[in-house]
Amino acid sequence: MEANANLPFEIRQVPSELNAQLLKDFTGERTGFVQVGPKKWFLPAKYREFAAHFYNFQPRPDDVWVVTFPRSGTTWTQELVWLVANDLDYETASRVPQVERFPFLEFNIFFHDEVKSEILELNQGDPFKQQLVELISEPAYLSLQEHQGRRFVKTHLPFSLLPPNLLDTCKVVYVVRNPKDVAVSFYHLNRLIKTQGYQGDFRKYWHYFEKDLHPWTPYWAHVEEGWRRRHHPNLLFQFYEDMNRDLSSTIRRMGSFLGKTMDEAQVARLADHLDIRNFRDNKAVNYDLVKEVGLLNSGEPAFIRKGKVGAWHAEFDEELDQRADKWIEENLRKTDIVFPISLHK
């Protein structure tokens, strides 16, 4: 497939001086970054090679997709979706890592070839781990195309970069989380995983996030695309804060959306399985495969962190908080999005 075949948007390189600064701060990328379409979706340069594969990917009627801006409760939602759709098969969920049960559509574009070579060298002499590296770095669309049976797909790409017939073909769950908690959680992930390799402090990180110079931004355009589709019968739109506040109701709503019924005992057991205290200790969802091959930096919080609403307070000082509030107010005025909580407290 030609790299940019049938694409209704342009892909442009980030200006060279800005690109050089970004490469110093995000050491997991070695080539640079691009901005896509009129909204300037920010992605690594490798996106150019695979954009058509994502946009022209063929969804199937029995697919279930989870679409989110990163760190919006994605992994939590994936586990909920998979278990409900698979009749609460806890045995398989504990035995098969979530990254295999629920492939991440575009992860390969973040796994730079130079980083892959370094990780392969790190695991030299261990054929099993080297095979894991090859598995992790393989484009997910290839394995998904070959997959027999129901498919579960995770992506952080916005709707405008995904197959145009996605919602008219299959079920999609879209989750939104308040931007301050997203930014703090994403900051720690960027420091944790070597494919991102962020080197700076949170203040500088917020600058990139706020200025839409960070993978998958702009945040507000991403959320607005999900919000605009919230009434589509094939879309379940969820706020992370509502999920956190009443998990049992969320489970029942998911069951209804996926055509599954559960009794109270089953709902209670699933709520316990998904409780953040248990979820953090669940090796099947905590990116243990990635950790095993050396893709995670030591000294950083685990992939599954606190899962709290309002955890952003730990990183925002008063000045940065006021700046963030102004940014939030300016962007909320452009939409009719109504969050279930105050974004300032």
Parse the chain into domains and list their residue ranges.
57-332
pLDDT digits (tens, 9 = 90+) for 67-81: 999 999 999 999 999
pLDDT of 123 higher than 60: yes
0.95 exceeded by pTM: no
- Radius of gyration of the CA atoms of the chain, in A: 19
pLDDT digits (tens, 9 = 90+) for 259-283: 999 999 999 999 999 988 776 666 6
Q: How confident is the model at residue 5 (pLDDT cuts 50, 70, 90)?
A: low
Does 3.40.50.300 match the CATH number of domain 57-332? yes
**What's the confidence (pLDDT) of residue 291?**
77
C-alpha to C-alpha distance for 77 and 274, rounded to whole angstroms: 9
Percentage of the chain modeled with pLDDT above 90: 77
Non-local (6+) Cβ contacts of 246 within 8 A are none
CA 159-216-5 angle, 5° bins: 55
Average pLDDT over residues 61-66: 98
Average pLDDT over residues 5-18: 92
**What's the confidence (pLDDT) of residue 303?**
43
